[in-house]
Amino acid sequence: MAKETKVILTCTECLSRNYVTHRNPKTHNQRLELMKYCKKCGKHTLHKETK
């Protein structure tokens, strides 16, 4: 059984850490990048996975 790891998503514009999610490192070996709503910016921005 594959173990999911917890990742933190950070806004690329204001660098605030807004979201926590999980991903399976065996199926997704690249860093996660999603368009999410940032409360601090007040708009949808690109959020990237941080360590």
Query: CATH homologous superfamily for 5-50?
Result: Ribosomal protein L33 (2.20.28.120)
Q: What are the pLDDT tens digits along the chain (51 aa)?
A: 568 899 999 999 999 999 999 999 888 889 999 999 999 999 999 999 997
C-alpha 36: how far from chain center: 9
Task: Look at the pTM and tell me if it is higher than 0.75.
Answer: yes
Tokens of residue 28, six digits? 């997704």
> What is the C-alpha separation between 13 and 6, in angstroms, rounded?
22
